[in-house]
Structure 1
Amino acid sequence: MDRRPRDARLRQVGTSRAGLPLRLLSVGHGSRQVLVVAGPHANEPVGGATVLRLAERVLADPRLCDGADVTWNLLLCLDPDGSRRNEGWLSGPYTLGHHFRHFFRPGFMEQPEWLPDGAEGATLPETRTLLALQDELRPFLQCSLHGVDVGGGFVELTRDLPGLAPRLAHIATRLDIPLELGPYDTLYWPTLGPAVYRIPPPRRGDLAAAITEAAVESTWFHPHPYGTVTAVVEAPMWGVTAVQDASVPADAEETLRGVSRTLRRDTALLEELLARIRPYLGTAGDVDRLLAPVDDYVLVCPGLADSWDPDTGPGTDVDGGARPLPPLTTARLTALRISARRIALRTAGLLHQLVTASGHDPSGATADLDRLVDAWCADYHDGHGARWIPVARQAEYQARVVLAAFDLARRPGPASGRGARQLGAPPVRTEVPFE
């Protein structure tokens, strides 16, 4: 920005609940707008590195900016308050145990992308800031930058971008990033291509459905009337090869029963620990913020276990109709196993922080929590072969996917809205030698 003050401008567009500035970096002077949102989930930090990489890339290539009549608007972090709570693991060491013992993600009602009461009922200042930006910019493309703690990469779209799936596969292969062919997040969503999924229109449902399926109004869909296509770009921190295995195992139903049994057992252990810990926690604000996501996870676990278990019948949709699971490939079963373990690990990590913050442990819960966290992280390592992906490679993967989505969204077509480019404009080269 100091080198190119005319082409890169930084301005404060809002303030977080704790008084931290929400800053927007705008690059270029085009009449058409791209909005990229980093840090919507506090525990998914890669987007902060990605937006800086995108800014450098856009400044270096006129075809991405003024040559395409485009301004790039990069929101540097949507939830800086929550992100600060993850600083305990951000500087390393990058081990699963260190990560989950210092993990923080706010409760569902404090996550700024969600609109459970609609845009008019939004109360979080971070949410209102993002809504105002969307209404001001009316972007033809919005990218929300997310991270997967354990698993693989994938993309979720509010509208199809034909051609994205092969580009995604090429980028992932070049950078050795596994792609999720059946992520838990998209369990009941339409598939647009390998590792590319369509986000269904928002619908009203109960809180458990909103937490587990994003079945709620969101800032992903708020700019939809402007012709915006939103791409949610997920980049993994620890990669697991099996999430891209499309084979069908012979014992799929028995594996699924095992996943459900394990989730029920782990939930019972965590509920017992929570009951031991809760009387000693007090009512300080920090305790409330750590307890909110714990209560969310404990709320949804029994329903998840039942919906996955072949012996308890299929899940139901918000209208009460039967909703059977999609075909049980190795990739999908792996994703479900990882997700069940993720919920338990996150809960255990937050409980560990609650005990630590209280300053005393009369119930002796710390040792039990340490044992659970160590055992469950070992399962990720030994049972799934989870491997750390360097931050630079995570950010490069995410940046290339954003640029691929940009190249497709700016082309003329029903999904491009105000961003249709002129016929004959050359495609953007989205790959550079990896640094």
Structure 2
Amino acid sequence: MTDTGRRIRPLRTLDTRPARYPTPAQAESAARRLALRHPDRCRLREVGRSRAGRPLLLLSVDRGPRAVLVVGGPHPNEPIGTAGTVRLAEVLLDRPARPGLSWHLLLCLDPDGAALNAGWLDGPLTMRRHYEHFFRPSFEEQPELLPAPGSGRPPMPESLALTGLIDELRPFLQCSLHGVDFGGAFAQLTRPVPGLAGRFARSAQRAGVPLDVDSYDAIGWASPDPGTYLMPSPGTGGSRALPDEPELSTWSYAARYGAVSAVLEVPMWAVDAVGDAHRHPAGPQALAAAARDLTARAADLTALLPTVRAHRPGAPGHEAYGPLLRTAESSLAVAPRVAEEWLERWGAEPLTASRVTTAGLVAARVPLRVASILLRLLADTRGPGVEAARDRARTVVADSLDRLRHRFGTRWVPVQEQLAHQTRAVLTTADCLL
């Protein structure tokens, strides 16, 4: 309940403006307009700079001592996060201020990465075009993840800006706005939030989005309710193959002030089978097939890396080459370990249809991402083996897209529905903690 004893009014109407994601520049313009229009309640300030010198902007609404921190754009291939900060500000400013509460919306945590993924936002929001412009940084270059103690790797400036904000605001809630490319909605929490699961599920249903009830992103995590997962404590649960440990993240950092961190996920393309908790009739066999497929495709694409490295452009204007190559290399290094972990953990166990589906989605998605990045790296390149490498990458892209469309029945979730659900999820999480 709120300080005034009233629940937050649910978001019942959708934005009727053009259904697009804003670029970070467009989000900044929208935030500036809101700050000018509502100077009594709204202010915009710079809280840091990215590695490339881009500003990190915080839009604050109201001035109460109890703070909610909302992080937009943590992953550049998930533009719903930046869109969500602007939409949330519009909703908040359309309502009376809530006594004692303030909202602090970081528009985009990774503007450098967003610049490498922005080409998709200017044209048709199709699956093929999304991957033609795809970029997601390697694990070590994702700002929400902090370096392990003793690693010798300093925190990124974006990470320091975020941890500095947490130290300044001492929020009782931190919401990180994420989006999956294929699947369903789900919430990852640093500790239980009573009353959230049912309201989150109803919000997803209103948006026409399934709940991901056995998410690959939460391997080994406790799930007290469908679509809700609790991040493990250090050294327990989680994937051994993936380096993005929750305890080494800005999500856990906020716990020093008693905050709950909520990672809120909504899909761009829904896959209804991720909501099926029934036993899969041939789970181990289907999982083994996905593992073999992922391993084989990763090996095929790894064989293309020498050709890519041999044709590294040297002219100015190719600054994207390094981040793109590091992403491809790290994804290909992790893929066989992921497949091996599937077989070790679940190779002989009964599995839900949701778990089998999410494994199949990963087996299609990872090669699609890597092959798409390799095509970007080989664009306008000539030389021995280049055409053969391009042909191989194009084949992987075409086959992966075909699988995702036809085998998994992916369907586009309109941007308005994504925004409506994510905005409701933030408001509901805050409401449940007040």
1:337 corresponds, among 360, 366, 382, to: 360
Matched, 1:110 2:144: no
Gaps of 5+ in 2: 1-34
User: Which residue identity lines up with residue 391 of structure 1 in the other structure?
Assistant: V
State the shift of 1:121 in Å. Answer: 6.0
Aligned residue for 2:320? 286
Preserved CA contact (<8 Å) 1:179 1:243: yes
State the shift of 1:278 in Å. Answer: 2.3
Within 5 Å, which residues of 2 pair with 1:54-69? 54-62=88-96, 65-67=97-99, 69=100
Relative distance call for 1:148 and 1:99 in structure 2 (3 A) is: same
Within 5 Å, which residues of 2 pair with 1:183-262? 183-203=215-235, 209-211=241-243, 214=245, 216-262=247-293
Q: Matches of 2:155 and 2:352 in 1, distance apart?
A: 41
Q: Matches of 1:403 and 1:330 in 2, distance apart?
A: 31
Q: Any idea what the Cα deviations from partners look like across 1:257-316, whole Å, max 9, x if unmatched?
A: 11111111111211122233322225764322111111111111111111212xxx338x
Q: Matches of 1:23 and 1:215 in 2, distance apart?
A: 25
User: Which residue identity lines up with residue 173 of structure 1 in the other structure?
Assistant: Q
Relative distance call for 1:163 and 1:225 in structure 2 (3 A) is: same
2:304 corresponds, among 273, 280, 285, to: 273
Q: Matches of 1:34 and 1:353 in 2, distance apart?
A: 39
1:173 corresponds, among 205, 212, 219, to: 205
Relative distance call for 1:182 and 1:325 in structure 2 (3 A) is: farther
Aligned residue for 1:416? none
| TM-score, normalised with respect to structure 2 | 0.86
User: Which residue identity lines up with residue 328 of structure 1 in the other structure?
Assistant: L
State the shift of 1:173 in Å. Answer: 1.0
State the shift of 1:113 in Å. Answer: 0.5
Q: Matches of 1:298 and 1:141 in 2, distance apart?
A: 35
The percent identity for this pair of structures is 43
Gaps of 5+ in 1: 316-323, 411-435
Aligned residue for 2:381? 359
- Secondary structure class of the residue paired with 2:252: coil
Preserved CA contact (<8 Å) 1:177 1:239: yes
Matched, 1:11 2:45: yes
Q: Matches of 1:109 and 1:303 in 2, distance apart?
A: 17
Aligned residues: 394
Preserved CA contact (<8 Å) 2:77 2:117: yes
Preserved CA contact (<8 Å) 1:116 1:216: no
Q: Any idea what the Cα deviations from partners look like across 1:180-228, whole Å, max 9, x if unmatched?
A: 11111101111021100001124499997443x5355110010102110
Aligned residue for 1:430? none
- Secondary structure class of the residue paired with 1:93: coil
1:47 corresponds, among 81, 97, 101, to: 81
State the shift of 1:60 in Å. Answer: 2.1
State the shift of 1:28 in Å. Answer: 0.5
User: Which residue identity lines up with residue 102 of structure 1 in the other structure?
Assistant: H
| TM-score, normalised with respect to structure 1 | 0.86
Deviates more, 1:223-232 or 1:53-62: 53-62
Q: Matches of 2:149 and 2:241 in 1, distance apart?
A: 16
Aligned residue for 1:300? 334
Aligned residue for 2:168? 136
Q: Matches of 1:179 and 1:397 in 2, distance apart?
A: 12
State the shift of 1:361 in Å. Answer: 5.0
Q: Matches of 2:78 and 2:412 in 1, distance apart?
A: 14
Preserved CA contact (<8 Å) 1:204 1:216: no
1:99 corresponds, among 122, 130, 149, to: 130
User: Which residue identity lines up with residue 184 of structure 1 in the other structure?
Assistant: Y
Preserved CA contact (<8 Å) 1:36 1:142: yes
Q: Any idea what the Cα deviations from partners look like across 1:43-98, whole Å, max 9, x if unmatched?
A: 11101111111111112222xx433x101000000000100111111223222211
Relative distance call for 1:45 and 1:230 in structure 2 (3 A) is: same
Aligned residue for 2:30? none
Preserved CA contact (<8 Å) 2:143 2:158: yes
2:412 corresponds, among 367, 375, 388, to: 388
Q: Matches of 1:206 and 1:238 in 2, distance apart?
A: 25
